[in-house]
Amino acid sequence: MKKIYTILLMIVLVTGLTAFDKYAGEIYDLTSGVRNIAMGNTGLTDVKTFSPAYWNSALIPEIGESRVELMHATEFDGLFKYDNISLFWNSQNPVAINLTRISINDIPLTKLEDESAEISNNNRPYAYKYVDNNDYLLSIGLSRSLNSKLNIGLTPKITYRDVAEESGWALGADISLLYKAKTNLLLAGKIDNVVATHVLWENGTYETVSPKADLEARFLFTMFKREIPFELALRTEFFMLEDSDIGEYDLSITSINPHIGLSVTPFSNLSFLAGYDTNSLTAGVDLVYNNFTIFYAYSNSNESDLGSSQKIALGYNF
pLDDT digits (tens, 9 = 90+) for 228-272: 999 999 999 998 776 677 788 888 888 999 999 999 999 999 999
Number of structural domains in the chain: 1
pLDDT digits (tens, 9 = 90+) for 152-175: 999 999 999 888 778 889 899 999
pLDDT at 12 exceeding the cut of 60 = no
CA distance from start to end of the chain = 34
More confident residue, 299 or 233: 233
* The model's pTM: 0.83
**Per-residue confidence (pLDDT) for residue 293, from 0 to 100:** 98
pLDDT at 11 exceeding the cut of 50 = no
Residue 24 binned pLDDT confidence (cut-offs 50, 70, 90): low
Coil vs helix vs strand at 194? strand
**Per-residue confidence (pLDDT) for residue 28, from 0 to 100:** 74
Residue 29 binned pLDDT confidence (cut-offs 50, 70, 90): confident
**Per-residue confidence (pLDDT) for residue 289, from 0 to 100:** 96
**Per-residue confidence (pLDDT) for residue 47, from 0 to 100:** 97
Per the DSSP assignment, residues forming a β-bridge with 80 are 75
pLDDT digits (tens, 9 = 90+) for 170-205: 899 999 999 999 999 999 999 998 876 778 888 878
Where does residue 134 rank: exposed (0-12), middle (13-18), buried (19+ CB within 10 A)? middle
**268-285 burial string, b = 16+ CB within 10 Å, else e?**
eeebebbbbbbebebbbb
**Per-residue confidence (pLDDT) for residue 4, from 0 to 100:** 43
CA separation for the pair 7, 10 (Å, rounded): 5
Q: Mean pLDDT throughout 119-136?
A: 84
Where does residue 180 rank: exposed (0-12), middle (13-18), buried (19+ CB within 10 A)? middle
Q: Mean pLDDT throughout 11-40?
A: 66
Highest mean pLDDT among 103-112, 201-210, 271-280: 271-280
For residue 35, give every residue at least 6 positions away whose Cβ sits within 8 Å of its Cβ, in sequence order, or none: 43, 46, 48, 49, 50, 271, 273, 284, 286, 295, 297
Q: DSSP letters of 119-131?
A: -BTTB-EEEEEEE
CA separation for the pair 193, 28 (Å, rounded): 9
pLDDT at 69 exceeding the cut of 80 = yes
**Per-residue confidence (pLDDT) for residue 13, from 0 to 100:** 39
Q: The domain that contains 254 carries what CATH number?
A: 2.40.160.40
Q: DSSP letters of 220-261?
A: EEEETTTTEEEEEEEEEEEE-GGGTT-SSEE-SS-EEEEEEE
pLDDT digits (tens, 9 = 90+) for 107-126: 787 888 888 888 888 888 88
- Domain range for residue 193? 2-317
- Among 167, 148, 149, 150, smallest CA distance to 159 is for 167
Q: Which helix or strand (DSSP H or E) is residue 15 part of?
A: helix 2-16
- Among 161, 160, 166, 30, smallest CA distance to 109 is for 166
**Per-residue confidence (pLDDT) for residue 6, from 0 to 100:** 41
For residues 263 and 230, the answer to whether their CB atoms sit within 8 Å is yes
Q: What are phi and psi of 36, to 5 degrees?
A: -70, -35
For residue 130, give every residue at least 6 positions away whose Cβ sits within 8 Å of its Cβ, in sequence order, or none: 106, 107, 108, 109
